[in-house]
Amino acid sequence: MLANVEKWVAVNSGTRNIDGLATMARMLSDAFSALPGEVELVEPDPHDSVDVAGESHPLDHGRHLHLTVRPDAPVQMLFTGHMDTVFQVDHPFQDSRWLDDGSLNAPGAADMKGGLALLLAALKSVEATSLADRIGYEVVINSDEETGSFSSAALLARSAKNKVAALTYEPALPDGTLAGARGGTGNFSIVVHGKSAHAGRNPDDGRNAIVAAADIAVRLMAEKGPELSVNPARIDGGGPNNVVPDLAVLRVNFRPRAEAEIERAKGFIDRIVGEAETRHDVRIHVHGGFNRPPKPIDAGAERLFGLVKQVGQDLSIPVAWKATGGVCDGNNIAACGVPVVDTMGVRGGAIHSSEEFMIPESLNERAALSAVTMLRIAERGQL
């Protein structure tokens, strides 16, 4: 496992590094081909992004790995991970090093190339048992999780059908704590078209897009509450001081903690945008949406977490979990009605920073936790 991690972190596979993702996909295909079943590299679904000029353009994505094993077996599970990282080719954090405490500091070591390595080891262990024929599974390793899984969401949804449970290999916290309930997320680009004019001669003939965008941002922020955070993150636009700006692009992130907050947010976004068009005499286009709903701990998830905890006790591995504001593909899977534990990866921390680290002892520990959890589900035929 450690050899795989060291080999894989040496490949830059930032979400926008298409060549690096292609290399990573080939390496993972070779590694996961050791399992029975068919490995394929799936073309990404199209997805657009809005640039600073308010124009929508298609984004390039890497292909996604999809493995299917024994689709006719009586017990079906889903295992997911991602090959992309947040570190692009021009990021200064590219190399790995061993720290004094024995942990590995490397881009993607915890998030989540360590998780992919232990998933592979766990599945190999399961395949060596007499229970292997009882369990069928799909593995999805996507190339765009770090940017929202827009080009892989449909693949995840298809793969989640008729699964009794799912495990996802985001990293656990350094002490092994898992993520429990998660909030959701939505990202929007609100494009405001105003009218330019000379700021000195005839400013009243203009329609200031920056002012309209700022007004929208303030009004959206006023709608935040205990179950919904609102973050107006950026306004692109403007130009010389003597020109009334005719274009602005407002970027906003929403984090709903309950499904009802998504509908509430959709309503007040429409209302605030409509009022801004009238108040400022501008045209506005809204791009984006809520791509990951909240992930509550429902009855099915409670049973799965309980099973993982019991397996941990049997292996002398403490298992606890807590709610988190972050999102991942576990949100997508839970939205399909499939119980999921989405932090079955290595223990590590400082992810998305140059201080990211993986605790290597957790590779064996967490591979065992996964393998025995899979086998318990195969034995029971259910959670």
| Cα separation, 362 vs 369, whole angstroms | 10
| pLDDT value of residue 325 | 82
Main-chain phi, psi angles of 31, to 5 degrees? -65, -45
354's tokens: 């140059």
Kindly give the confidence (pLDDT) of every residue in the chain, 383 residues in length, as a single tens digit, with 9 standing for 90 and above.
Answer: 999 999 999 999 999 999 999 999 999 999 999 999 999 999 999 999 999 999 999 999 999 999 999 999 999 999 999 999 999 999 999 999 999 999 999 999 999 999 999 999 999 999 999 999 999 999 999 999 999 999 999 999 999 999 999 999 999 999 999 999 999 999 999 999 999 999 999 999 999 999 999 999 999 999 999 999 999 999 999 999 999 999 999 999 999 999 999 999 999 999 999 999 999 999 999 999 999 999 999 999 999 999 999 999 999 999 999 999 899 999 999 999 999 999 999 999 999 999 999 999 999 999 999 999 999 999 999 99
Handedness of CA 99, 104, 106, 108 (dihedral sign): negative
Structure tokens at 279: 């108040």
| CATH number of the structural domain 185-292 | 3.30.70.360
Q: What is the CA radius of gyration of the chain?
A: 23
* DSSP conformation letters of 95-107: --EE-TTS-EE-T
Alpha-carbon gap, residue 11 to 348, rounded angstroms: 19
Fold annotation for 2-183+295-380: Aminopeptidase (3.40.630)
pLDDT for 303 equals 98
Residues spanned by CATH 3.40.630.10 within the chain?
Answer: 2-183+295-380
Q: For residue range 13-54, what is the model confidence (pLDDT) as tens digits?
A: 999 999 999 999 999 999 999 999 999 999 999 999 999 999
Q: According to CATH, where is 3.30.70.360 located in the chain?
A: 185-292
